Chains A and B, each alone.
Chain A
């Protein structure tokens, strides 16, 4: 259980997170949605233990900044892989938490090998990561986090640089992790995809969590539209799936409840 209570984060005099409260169950997928500047990435960094805060953020009852031994992986929005680093070098760094820095154990190698296969990166392992396509880099970033064998994985906009095909493939892979017992927390701009994959959605705006709960309920709520200044519309397809689009979109059957 991850519990965020009365969390406030300030950068100099600017309040970035304001009295945030959130509960996240283990082995679940929670998406954090909201407009740009809502504080989503800061919330992820605070959960990682990197940011000074007031209030409380606990993993399994322990305050995050006090317990740095926990295994929480972070997948950044933008890759920051140095020039000349091969895919295998980058993935090997991911084993540092489990195997120790600079150690290459047999189990670690097997794990990396298997992750290369699962993430369809075999053949790319000796390529320079900076020479890969956007979709390949995203898979490499995720693979680096997977080889860390984390209990919790924090993903900052994991699909923002991907085409639709790779978005689904990446999210399917994250779903697989969740099924294997990893707790997933992601920020996402695409609310439709958030609703498809996560059990829970938290809606943020101006550093506050306006609403959190069951994904379907959140997507149907008025607070979600408020968070985006009523510039989104929610439609229900024949299959019952809800899609969220910018409000000028006119196709599809508009959900009777809620109305934009």
Chain B
């Protein structure tokens, strides 16, 4: 075919400026989250302390910044990034805009794994917990596929299977809790979703797993776009659909399971954040994954700020905030983008 046309006037599929804006939003949200609390810290003091410059914080305020607020903010960002990215990946892999890690049983499975870890080790944030949570999450996804049988490519069947597996895992989890009443409190506080007990030990464990899985997902993000086509089209374009699906599900499950294990069950992030980005940009490409991760991080840090500020000195479960600010904003995006998800 001879190229005659010189018109190139159409929008690029992904614009890196959107990613830069999301980074800026994250930075602002992180600064706000670190400086806000019962003891206000100024931005200048925070920067001087972090970079070891003269005039930084000292004593209790320094401890407050470095040992309480900063790890909590970093953990929130990690969890938000993991949940938002996993949600977006599941939506692509299962060809279902309503898929999120929780619907497919991953979170309930991870919850069961974490409960087993708490009941057996009686140490809710040991290094073993993410491993137990991951095994639980991965087993739940495997069970969902097994239950779906040869209909696993049918999103409706898969979704129902995930709900069934999730309900079963939850039932076993509740049974374990009732049999071990002494762990009822840590298990319940874990299930409600919180970032209150974050310390650098938890953060570093979570960071290891989450960075590893996000790195894999970002690396295959362009190939994931192939999964949005029929398997035959994807194959004709050089993508092996089943191989990419397995890698994506394993990596997203690792990220979700880790997030769940350190923060409990925080809802809505995995479904709202990807759709907000897709709605604003009117693009469904998985090249948006890094931006979705950054936005998810900002969203959860902001939600946590709300959770600890709105009824201070008491705290709200973070899931209440994610739903409270997430759902209306999600609807707002849907309306203002002329039904971007139709």
Contacts and interface: CB of A to CB of B under 8 A. Distances in A.
A124 B13 CA distance: 15
Nearest to B97: A83
A237 interface: no
B226 A93 contact: yes
A89 B284 contact: yes
A154 B239 CA distance: 17
Nearest to B232: A74
Contacts of A2: none
Contacts of A90: 229
Contacts of B8: 106, 109-110, 113
Interface in B1-57: 1, 3-8, 10-14
A68 B238 contact: yes
28 contacts: A48-B236, A49-B235, A50-B235, A69-B238, A76-B233, A80-B229, A81-B229, A82-B95, A83-B341, A84-B284, A84-B340, A84-B341, A84-B342, A89-B13, A89-B285, A92-B13, A93-B226, A93-B237, A96-B239, A97-B237, A101-B223, A114-B3, A114-B4, A117-B5, A125-B10, A130-B342, A144-B233, A149-B1
Nearest to A44: B232
Nearest to B14: A102
Given A84-B342, A101-B222, A111-B1, A48 B232 contact: yes
Interface in B261-304: 278, 282-285, 287
Contact of B1 (A106, A154, A180): A180
A104 interface: yes
Q: By CB atoms of chain B within 10 A, which of A76, A94, A96, A106 has the most?
A: A96
A34 B284 CA distance: 38
A101 to B, nearest CB: 4
Interface of B: 1, 3-8, 10-14, 92, 95, 97, 221-223, 225-226, 228-233, 235-239, 278, 282-285, 287, 340-342
Contacts of A88: 10-11, 13
Contact of B283 (A69, A89, A109): A89
Interface residues of A, number: 51
A93 B229 contact: yes
Contacts, number: 118
A101 B227 CA distance: 12
Contacts of B223: 101
Given A109-B8, A114-B4, 6 more contacts: A76-B232, A76-B233, A82-B284, A84-B284, A93-B237, A144-B233
Interface in A58-108: 68-69, 72-74, 76, 78, 80-86, 88-90, 92-94, 96-97, 101-102, 104, 106-107
B8 to A, nearest CB: 5
